Structure 1
Amino acid sequence: MRHARILDCTLRDGAYLVDKAFGENTQRGIIKGLIEAGIDIVELGFLQNEGFGEGKSVFKTPKEAAKYIPKDTTHTEFALMADFSRYDFKNLQDYDPTHRIQNIRLCFFKHERLESLKLIEAIKQKGYKIFIQPVDILGYSDIEILELIEIINKSIPYALSIVDTFGSMYIEDLHRIWALINHNLHQDIQIGFHSHNNLQLSSALSQEFIRMSQNKRNVIIDSTLNGMGRGAGNTCTELIALYMNQKFSYGYKLDRILDSIDIYIDPLKKQCTWGYNIPYYIAGMCSAHTNNITYLLKKNNIASKDLMAILDEIDSQKRKRYDYDLLESTYLKHITQNNIDDHLAFDTLKNHLNCKNILILAPGKSLFTHKQKIYSFMQNTKDLVVISVNFCHQDFKSDFIFLSNIKRYEFWQNDKKFVCIPKILLSNITHDDSENSYILNLNRAIKKGWENLDNSMILLLRILDSFTLKSINIAGFDGYNPFEENYFDQELERNLTLGEIECINTQIVSMLEEYLETRTNDTKINFLTESRFATGVSKLK
């Protein structure tokens, strides 16, 4: 007899990546494919007080979700997740067999647990099987887990889940929590497991959970198609189904799971990303909400060690949620902490830049498609100083390299040509003591108000406003195009979604407008190459 079942929560956990709007065709297709694959339970989405609409996996009542369930469901059951703080359970109708949604999963934070657990009996009386989903089980002490179990045992819900919210769990943690729960939980209550892949352990933990529960208790494993989920993602349905087929002789139809991934999940990767990477590894290591990482990754000037340092500066409980104002202030504090006296460097640069024509070379693709035009300008312009931004290249002779991006600096620092060129650095780059480097205080250029406030071109323009210049000429500042390569060098490319690209372009326009409206000097600005930002500059000049 099977002791383990799969609960696929793609339409709920994966929904965070698509603003909870998969679209009706995708919703129906995923559900049908999972049924045909023999998946035991399919979670259809969220029960919430608001945010619902056509094509969204958010519903006010089970009846609204039922329309996506096909007539033939074989043995598959269906579930909905209700967050204690986001759903009024007065809206929960009595179970209706024609709706075929048998399971309600009650999710709550630790501070909500006592009030949340009072709902168990009421939900059971409405005819549902109820799953108890305490957020961040690693945030509970052993005593608190035992107290939770004591309350749960009085009401006998259908299941209690071990939820590794931040992907911080190791095998040893799972063994400890499993032993504690299995030994003390009423035998009629099943145990679920929901993990995230921040430490690349999600699949291994799920396999171990199945193995160690055999002959001890019936269990339920959460998974998603291709691991789709916010941040590092979840246990992959295809991986755990394969394991259960090969090691326990289950009969999940892998071809139907793969079809669902090919048809419905892979196309979504054009608009959103998920899966293990170093930033989400850091989130798991720090037990931090993935939204903290997502926000900080929008900064141009953020290295992995900075992510770790910034999260370490935030209280361990506060980083389990996300406070964007706190993140912004902590980030700014981190990058501006080297509050140097830069007057000597600044005065020296005055001698090099004052009364000069400035040519700024940004690393956009137009730098090479319009190379001859740029060469001609360089040859025919007197009193010219060429400043390249975050790069050096043998085809362009630069008088200075401007760097505010620590990752670009570390990429180039071992290049022989780079070492020889004078550099204008901002003070967030603290470990350059070469004689031909001029380090300026970042506080001269940084301004609040934008997620992408550390864009290097904007920072350089603000720095240059402190000098008396003949003109500013710009090449290679193309703007981001979602449908083609954006840099002249493929190694400089960034992996951005369509939404992220639109956001960056919009914010650069906004920062340019602010720069032009508030600058001290009215130096003429000329774009040598095509740029999506040129029109806005010409209107405001």
Structure 2
Amino acid sequence: MEQIKLLDCTLRDGGYINDWKFGRRTIQNVIARLVDAGTDFIEVGFLRNVTYDEDRTLYNSIEELKRILPENRKKSTFVAMALHDQYDVSKLAENDGTIGAVRVTFHDYDIDEGLEFCRRVMDKGYPLFVNPINIMGYPDDTLLRLLEKVNRLGPYGFSIVDTFGSMTKAELTRIYSLLENNLDPKIVFGVHLHENLALSFSLAQVYLELRKYQRRSVLDASLNGMGRVPGNLCMELIMDFLNRQYGTAYDIDYVLDAIEEHILPIKKEEPWGYQTEYFLSAKYNLHRNYAEYLMEKGNLTTKEIKYLLKQLPKEKKAAFDRDYMEKLYQEHENKRVSDEESLNRLKGWFGGRKVLLLAPGKSLERPETKKRILDYLKEEEAVLVTTNFYWDGQQGGAAFFSNARRLEEYRAFRPKESRLILTSNLEGHGETADYVINYERLVGTGGEQCENSGILLLRLMGICKVREAALAGFDGFRKDGQNYMDGYFGAFPGARAEDNDRIAGCIEKLGNVMSVRFLTPSRYDRNSEAAGLRLE
């Protein structure tokens, strides 16, 4: 069906997964398979201001791009994309037929600069797709003004780009209607969908039902949906759908072979697909990195993440501003309470005593560990305090929580006669606590800042003037991710093996305030080799 065509963007959008390091042989093989499958457009990568590497799909010039293209392109047209502010268009040679189209992207805040870049591409003889980033972020009046300018420019195509994956059927219908009634009929429609809401395949079908028969259309897709997480419309699905419903003749076997040989090995190392954080970014139509950044903190409930995302002003939504998000996060965490009474009572309980602090490391599973813990508690008349969990053998003592997610998950497991110590960032839980301590007091500032719950608890013990803190289950982080005892409710996604040295340094400094010893092997223990406590 000549009015509907497919564009594969695996080698361009998929590059966000592997930093465009596909390898020359894979690049050429994927292109060859897509050509054999009858793919209409194949986007072979980005035009960028980079140092050329034959193993990456980033190119300074058409000459570099030519090196990976097959001699026999059959019915396929090769395409490249350029971000207007990341490529010097003067390096773009006059069109010699190698590239059948260039796609150009820009934001709503630099429309005129983007369209000027587009004009210069067209002046060099290239058919042009205008791909405005995040069309969902355009108010109707702004979009209509953009369409007027695009009509005057007269490009080959204009794309509906659902950058943040927030589009639903109703919104696609609204935007399609605006475009259909205001865009020059000669201009081809493009559609680029994402999987934030797991709707890309459904929306592609909706679009095909909406489109007028006369309007030529190009649907973007990628092999197995490979693209910036959560991914894109799957090429194999839309090819099969068009074959069955619209009488096209794409040879899907070549696509499936390319997926099995080249794409699935990448996906095994760097997965993509629907994930909760990208649903949240789509829900509020903002840059995916905001929700991702907050999820990686590992200590926020979904309710808290939603609250923080809703605080982002409109001008901050389209481009990720790490510093601004961190500012909102710190303001949220640093809720101040009057904690003097809690501190005085804790000092009365802990002052001058020995405490045994438990973290949920795998060393707690060792048969000898429980005996070592119980012996220490009895012999030293120590107080047991767990951090962000409850221990199965816990009787009395206290539990310290600085992580809202862990508190919610362990709420039902609170042992009888166990006291609860919370940090002030756990909004709404203060009424269940025996003590609430200002988070800001424990987290520190500048180079001393550390959000690790074990360090927060140790700092609290230092303030309470304990005589000795014995640590068990403070194993440290392993690269293979086997960091927590079985049954622990949720690993911290931001934990990295590189954090071990930083946390070890914090513990070492706290050793100047009180005696600190390790009852179980730990990567935080800088004397572990001498003590014979090296972890396997």
TM norm structure 1: 0.90
Task: Say which SS state the counterpart of residue 392 (structure 2) adopts.
Answer: coil
Find out whether 1:88 has 2:88 as its counterpart.
Answer: yes
Is the 8 Å Cα contact of residues 42 and 77 (structure 2) preserved in structure 1? yes
Paired residue type of 1:513: G
Once the two structures are overlaid, the 10-residue window that deviates more, 445-454 or 88-97, is 445-454
1:420-448, Cα deviation, whole Å (9 max, x unpaired): 52122111223335676222111111235
Task: Say which SS state the counterpart of residue 43 (structure 2) adopts.
Answer: strand
Q: CA deviation at 1:267?
A: 2.6
RMSD: 2.6
What are the within-5 Å matches in structure 2 for residues 20-419 of structure 1? 20-50=20-50, 52-97=52-97, 100-337=98-335, 339-369=336-366, 371-380=367-376, 381-397=379-395, 399-415=397-413, 417-418=414-415
Is the 8 Å Cα contact of residues 402 and 460 (structure 1) preserved in structure 2? yes
Partner of 2:534: none
1:225-265, Cα deviation, whole Å (9 max, x unpaired): 22222243222222222221221122223333233333333
Whole-Å separation in 2 of the counterparts to 1:119 and 1:376:
70
Q: CA deviation at 1:450?
A: 8.7
Q: CA deviation at 1:363?
A: 1.1
Whole-Å separation in 2 of the counterparts to 1:401 and 1:204:
48
Whole-Å separation in 2 of the counterparts to 1:407 and 1:491:
12
Q: CA deviation at 1:358?
A: 2.3
Q: CA deviation at 1:212?
A: 1.9
Judging changes above 3 Å, is the alpha-carbon distance between structure 1 residues 451 and 103 closer, same or farther for their aligned structure 2 residues?
farther
Q: 1:461 aligns with which of 448, 458, 462?
A: 458
Paired residue type of 2:498: T
Find out whether 1:437 has 2:429 as its counterpart.
Answer: no
Is the 8 Å Cα contact of residues 402 and 425 (structure 1) preserved in structure 2? yes
Whole-Å separation in 1 of the counterparts to 2:394 and 2:11:
51
Is the 8 Å Cα contact of residues 193 and 233 (structure 2) preserved in structure 1? yes
Whole-Å separation in 2 of the counterparts to 1:252 and 1:491:
49
Whole-Å separation in 2 of the counterparts to 1:433 and 1:4:
59
Q: CA deviation at 1:467?
A: 2.5
Moved over 4 A (4+): 433-436, 448-453, 536-539
Paired residue type of 2:499: Q
Paired residue type of 2:440: N
Judging changes above 3 Å, is the alpha-carbon distance between structure 1 residues 20 and 188 closer, same or farther for their aligned structure 2 residues?
same
1:316-362, Cα deviation, whole Å (9 max, x unpaired): 2212211111111100111222x111111111111222222222221
Task: Say which SS state the counterpart of residue 109 (structure 2) adopts.
Answer: helix
1:124-166, Cα deviation, whole Å (9 max, x unpaired): 2323221101111122233322322222223321110011111
Whole-Å separation in 2 of the counterparts to 1:227 and 1:33:
16
Q: CA deviation at 1:403?
A: 0.9
Identity %: 32
Is the 8 Å Cα contact of residues 358 and 472 (structure 2) preserved in structure 1? yes
Whole-Å separation in 1 of the counterparts to 2:28 and 2:100:
18
Q: CA deviation at 1:309?
A: 1.0
Q: CA deviation at 1:121?
A: 3.8
Paired residue type of 1:486: N
Task: Say which SS state the counterpart of residue 443 (structure 1) adopts.
Answer: helix
Q: CA deviation at 1:191?
A: 0.6
Find out whether 1:534 has 2:500 as its counterpart.
Answer: no
1:431-471, Cα deviation, whole Å (9 max, x unpaired): 33567622211111123569994321222222222122232
